[in-house]
Amino acid sequence: MRTWRVGTFSMGILLLMLGLLLFFSRFIGMDLIQVMTAWWPVILIVLGIEILLYLFLARREIPVLKYDFLSIFFVAIIGTLGIAFAMLSSIGLMGKVEEVVAREERSFDLPAFSYKMNDKIHRVVVRNASYDTTIEAANSKEVSLFGTYRVQTSKNKELLKSAKDYLTANQKGDTLYINLKQLPNESGPFYTQGIVAATILIPDDVKLDLVGSNDSLTLKPRALSNDWKIENASTVKVDSSESKDLKIAANSVEEFKGKGWQISKKKDLDGSEEMSGIYQSGEGTYQINIVNSYHVSLLTGK
């Protein structure tokens, strides 16, 4: 009497089907996740057909079933993986996993921004958003912003469609307020944050107030003809090589770098040491005031 071990036939058929699916998936554009998600119910169908087929062919009053537990174990493992893929796909998590696996870093251009200045605007207030930013005085009548951003993405598509996606600009009285926004990102276990390198051109005859946020700033005052104030930037680099009439006053700074600083130190009430520095070229008619920065460096071109 020949013994039929239930599970051996199912194991063979399922391995054959899985191999064929994986082979043809290369030509029809399916990946492993799609194959496992689509075909796992076939495992139960094949196993059930094998049992029914044995019972039909045996034609005994008391049929004896023997199971190939090793084969059934491997079939169960494959089926469990298929069910897991299907459940993750149904709640949208599998799509997130596929997207993260396919991500790569790409750089794009920031959508250019410009704002025509009128005679009523005498002050520009910029609130940064952790961008690495270069501020440059320009002999123009508009505020301009351009640059690049780098993000992780699975699609070769620009994240930002227009300047409104990363900043807002509003004129109130004699002041233009520019608020930079964080790049869109995904929260949760797949959280990513983009990197921005921006350049802002400010009319040289307009007063500037910039509020930083753990950012790195490079200042190029050139022939500045008004005052700038920089607050709460992590690092500030001032390129004064083209400036002939400028005074830089930096207060509450942890570290200075560059030649030409007149540095003074004093202790706060809590005993910590606070440093201040002054640099001046020419008469020092126009000033850059830097407050609450960790590192301030100076490039004089000398």
Under DSSP, the state recorded for 260 is S
> Mind listing the pLDDT tens digit for each residue in 144-187?
999 999 887 666 677 788 999 999 999 999 999 999 998 876 54
Look-up: residue for tokens 């709460």?
232
| Comparison of pLDDT for 24 and 225, the residue scoring more | 225
Return the pLDDT at 117.
93
Distance between CA atoms of residues 28 and 7, nearest Å: 30
Distance between CA atoms of residues 58 and 33, nearest Å: 39
Return the pLDDT at 39.
61
Proportion of the chain above pLDDT 90, given as a percent:
42
Return the pLDDT at 207.
96
| Comparison of pLDDT for 146 and 5, the residue scoring more | 146
> Mind listing the pLDDT tens digit for each residue in 53-101?
666 666 655 555 565 566 667 666 766 766 666 666 665 555 555 555 5
Name the pLDDT band for 225 (thresholds 50, 70, 90).
very high
Distance between CA atoms of residues 15 and 12, nearest Å: 5
- Contact between 123 and 176 (Cβ < 8 Å): yes
Average pLDDT estimate for 245-261: 92
- Helix, strand or coil, per DSSP, at residue 224: coil
Name the pLDDT band for 11 (thresholds 50, 70, 90).
low
Average pLDDT estimate for 232-242: 92
The distance from CA 12 to its chain's CA centroid, rounded to whole angstroms, is 47
Joined together, the tokens standing for residue 229 give 């104030």
Average pLDDT estimate for 243-259: 91
Name the pLDDT band for 242 (thresholds 50, 70, 90).
confident
> Mind listing the pLDDT tens digit for each residue in 111-134?
999 999 999 999 999 999 889 999
Which of 120-124, 137-141, 186-190, 276-280 has the least mean pLDDT? 186-190
- Contact between 219 and 230 (Cβ < 8 Å): yes
Entry pTM: 0.67
| Residue 187 vs residues 96, 156, 191, 193: alpha-carbon distances, Å | 12, 21, 5, 10
> What's the start-to-end Cα distance of the chain, in Å?
102
- Contact between 228 and 207 (Cβ < 8 Å): yes
| Residue 240 vs residues 161, 199, 281: alpha-carbon distances, Å | 35, 17, 9
- Listed in order, strand segments (DSSP E) in the chain are 5-6, 66-67, 104-109, 113-116, 123-127, 132-138, 142-153, 167-172, 175-180, 195-203, 207-211, 216-220, 228-231, 235-239, 246-257, 262-267, 273-281, 286-299
| Residue 161 vs residues 29, 151, 170, 184: alpha-carbon distances, Å | 30, 14, 20, 12
- Contact between 206 and 122 (Cβ < 8 Å): yes
Bridge partners, 152 (sequence order): 105
pLDDT at 189 over 60: no
Average pLDDT estimate for 44-48: 69
Mean pLDDT of the chain: 79
Distance between CA atoms of residues 93 and 177, nearest Å: 40
Distance between CA atoms of residues 147 and 200, nearest Å: 9
Return the pLDDT at 101.
56
Q: Which long-range contacts (CB under 8 A, 24 or more apart) does 225-230 make?
A: 225/286, 226/286, 227/286, 227/287, 227/288, 227/289, 228/135, 228/287, 228/288, 228/289, 229/288, 229/289, 229/291, 230/288, 230/289, 230/290, 230/291, 230/293
Return the pLDDT at 130.
84
178-209 burial by CB neighbour count: b if 16+ within 10 A, else e?
A: bebeebeeeeeeeeeebebebbbbbbbebbbb
Return the pLDDT at 188.
47
Q: What count of residues does the chain have?
A: 302
- Contact between 197 and 142 (Cβ < 8 Å): no
Joined together, the tokens standing for residue 208 give 């500037």
